[in-house]
Amino acid sequence: MWALLKVFSTSLIFITVQGQNESTTLPPDSIATLLPPAGSVKADVKTETSINTPISTEEVTACDKGRSSRQKLRCHLLEHYDIHVHPVKDSSKAVTVAIGMAIIHLDVNEMKSVMGVDAWMRFDWKDEFLTWDPMDYDNLTQIHLAVGEIWKPDIFVYNSAESTKFDPYGQTHFLVSHTGNVLWVPPAHIKAFCKLDLRYWPLDTQECKLKFGSWTSHGHQIDLALYRNMTQVELLDFYTNNREWVSLATVAQRNRIVYDCCPETYPDVTFEFILQRNSPAYKAVFVLPCLVIMLMTICCFLLPPTAGEKITINGFAFLTCCIFLLYFASSLPFHNNAIPLLVTFYSNTAAMVGIALLLNVTCFSFARDRKYSGPPKFLKNAFSGSLGKCLCLGNYYHQVSSTHERLVLELTDMAESEQAGDRDQETGHHGGEERPILSNDSQNSVMRDWVLVAAGLERFFFVFYTIIFAITTSVYA
């Protein structure tokens, strides 16, 4: 320290003298008397040089003294490391990050149009500031470093359906090798929007994508590549056998996009999944009940025209269709352009069942209500002739006569009592029209004709509904 002060004072005297008289210079022997001995200056210069070295003796001791090789390596790597700077020594070069994926589980939410993926992500890049000679650290070639200690690429899912506050990768460690290669394999739970085509729901096939890219850097700063040049997504050995979705094919590809706003290229890695719904439960819960409802509706037309059970059966079938339609409305999105065929199938079936219920009530009225005149002749002649034979109504007239004999007797008694009341009240003398008074045989004949027409109409509707349901089923299948 004393030597430094002597040098400083000598320099100050020289500058002062030069400022007072620029032409005046001190003789060499006078300057020599002001300078300290040569040996002392050398010693002091050495001391100054040691102070300006990048790593002081105390710092080296702090990293090396009393520590293992792994601790020494960790201290030396992170001592002057900046996690906010891209890990390249030449700033004009880009960091190449390879991206890969291994699937564990897949799921699709139709209501939200979101695909959920549980996977192991794979990121690999080279950090030029994390290299060392293994010989200096007991042949240590790898070291684990935590998140927040080294640079990490800002790779996100562009079509993510998660909140920006949610980190899908977690806080897993990095594996760094002595060459600077960094491997990061975090488990990820990703939710991404997917454009669904529900036309063939629940036997549909969907194509969904996951698009990964840097959020803030372009291709000249962070370049992307496929992990080990794998063009497919890996399915892990313990991949859960999902009962609902089966992965038919997977594609991994790297893309480059140039936007109109910016001259730089923006690379991305896109993983495409072709998924097929394969669940027998959907067939048992949705498809089979609809077929049973159609069979119930068709079979109701085979019952006798006076059977009231058909109205109960068709009413139950119509209510069942409405319940299924309400379920579809609560579980499927309304904004989808393509209406699922199964929903259309149920809505058409509900409409057909409603019409069948109306037809059953009409035919039931034809057969049960008392009639004073016969049915239209063209219907009676058609169902009594060749059309009746085609509809298997040849023996139906005699069957109706014997089956509904009790009904005809009841109607006859009711007719006789009403005719007696009409005669006593003499309603016809006050301008009112008198109802025709029919004999028992005539009344029975009229009722038989109406029952025959009602039965013929129901047989015709049976054939018509069978054809309609067959066409609807073939179109859906």
Residue with tokens 């609902």: 244
- Residue-wise pLDDT tens digits, 25-79: 444 444 344 444 444 444 343 333 333 334 344 444 567 666 788 999 999 999 8
- Residue-wise pLDDT tens digits, 168-196: 888 899 999 999 999 999 999 999 999 99
How confident is the model over 220-241, as a mean pLDDT?
85
**DSSP letter string over 293-315?**
HHHHHHHHTTS-TT-THHHHHHH
Mean pLDDT of the chain: 76
Helix (H) or strand (E) holding 20: helix 2-20
One-letter amino acid for residue 419 of the chain: Q
The residues spanned by each domain of the chain are: 2-51, 78-278, 282-423+436-476
In the structure encoding, which two tokens stand for residue 25, read together? Answer: 């210079």
How confident is the model over 7-15, as a mean pLDDT?
44
Q: Give the pLDDT of residue 24.
A: 40
Q: Give the pLDDT of residue 280.
A: 78
- Residue-wise pLDDT tens digits, 281-332: 887 888 888 888 888 888 888 887 778 888 888 889 999 999 999 999 888 8
Residue with tokens 């009711």: 414
Predicted TM-score (pTM) of the model is 0.67
Residue 239 has pLDDT above 80, yes or no: no
Band the pLDDT of 445: cuts 50, 70, 90. Answer: low
Q: What is the CA radius of gyration of the chain?
A: 47
Q: Give the pLDDT of residue 285.
A: 85
Q: Give the pLDDT of residue 427.
A: 46
- Residue-wise pLDDT tens digits, 138-179: 999 999 999 999 999 999 999 999 876 667 888 899 999 999
Candidates 2.60.40.650, 3.90.1640.30, 3.40.50.1000, 2.70.170.10; correct CATH number of 78-278?
A: 2.70.170.10
Q: When comparing pLDDT for 183 and 333, which is higher?
A: 183
Yes or no: say if 277 and 204 are a contact pair by the CB < 8 Å rule.
Answer: yes
Q: When comparing pLDDT for 383 and 24, which is higher?
A: 383
Q: Give the pLDDT of residue 326.
A: 92
Q: Give the pLDDT of residue 30.
A: 41
Residue 409 has pLDDT above 80, yes or no: no
Strand 222-226 vs strand 95-109: parallel, antiparallel, or unpaired? parallel
Q: Give the pLDDT of residue 211.
A: 96
Residue with tokens 């007719």: 415
CA neighbor of 145 nearest in space, from 73, 68, 193: 73
Q: How many residues does the chain have?
A: 477
Residue 261 has pLDDT above 60, yes or no: yes
Band the pLDDT of 474: cuts 50, 70, 90. Answer: confident
- Residue-wise pLDDT tens digits, 365-395: 777 766 666 666 667 666 666 666 666 666 5
